[in-house]
Amino acid sequence: MRCFLGFDLTAAEKLQLQSWCDKALPPLHKAVPPANYHITSVFLGQLEDDQLDHLTQALDTLNWDAFELHIDELGYWKKPRILYAGCQHIPDGANAVHRQLAAIAHQAGINVQHGHYVPHITVARKVVEPVPSPLFQPAMTIRLSQLHLFESVSGKQGVHYPIRRSWPCRLRSPGHRL
């Protein structure tokens, strides 16, 4: 099973991001369907049953605080040719969860990519330069309060990401600074 750990967006957040794409960007050839919008924390790749068991058992014991991401910029990665909505400031909570999940994956025998973590929502794939400039930047806040194990499933209709398991985060009051 090909998997990743990450966060889903609510239906309202997916519609809000799609509305921004429709208003701020030209039509995109390989636009990601709003149903596929998500934020990956750790890409796991192909998992064996024992790796999945070890991973889920470790995740069952964890507690971390929910956090918010302020989606406020359009970005582009040249090598994978991905256009994404991201955040100028990465909150400590996002980095802490990413590091913790990467360590758990490593303990389960899963090789994960190391490097600078950039939480993002892919809005288009196979984008050829020149990259379109948005008419205005996105401006939305997403509260991430539940971690999910997603499976990446390819089919005739394209790829989709069913949620296979979920873990709630601790919630703090909305006025608490994350």
- Compute φ and ψ for 56, nearest 5 degrees: -65, -35
Give the model's pLDDT for residue 156. 86
Q: Nearest 5°: CA angle at 153, between 149 and 157?
A: 140
Question: Angle at Cα 78 formed by Cα 126 and Cα 80, nearest 5°?
Answer: 50
Is 70 an active-site residue? Answer: no
Active-site option among 29, 38, 54, 148: 38
DSSP state of 35: G
CATH class of 2-168: alpha beta
Q: Which candidate in 54, 98, 120, 148 is catalytic?
A: 120
Report the pLDDT value the prediction gives residue 44, as an integer from 0 to 100: 95
Ranges of residues in the chain whose predicted pLDDT is under 50? 172-178
pLDDT of residue 60: 92
120 a catalytic residue: yes
pLDDT of residue 107: 93
> What distance in Å separates the CA atoms of residue 44 and residue 102, rounded to the nearest whole number?
9
Q: DSSP state, 88?
A: S
**What's the pLDDT score for residue 174?**
46
- pLDDT, tens only, 35-53: 999 999 999 999 999 999 9
What is the value of pTM for the model shown? Answer: 0.90
pLDDT in tens, 135-160: 999 999 999 999 999 999 998 888 89
Specify the pLDDT at position 171: 53
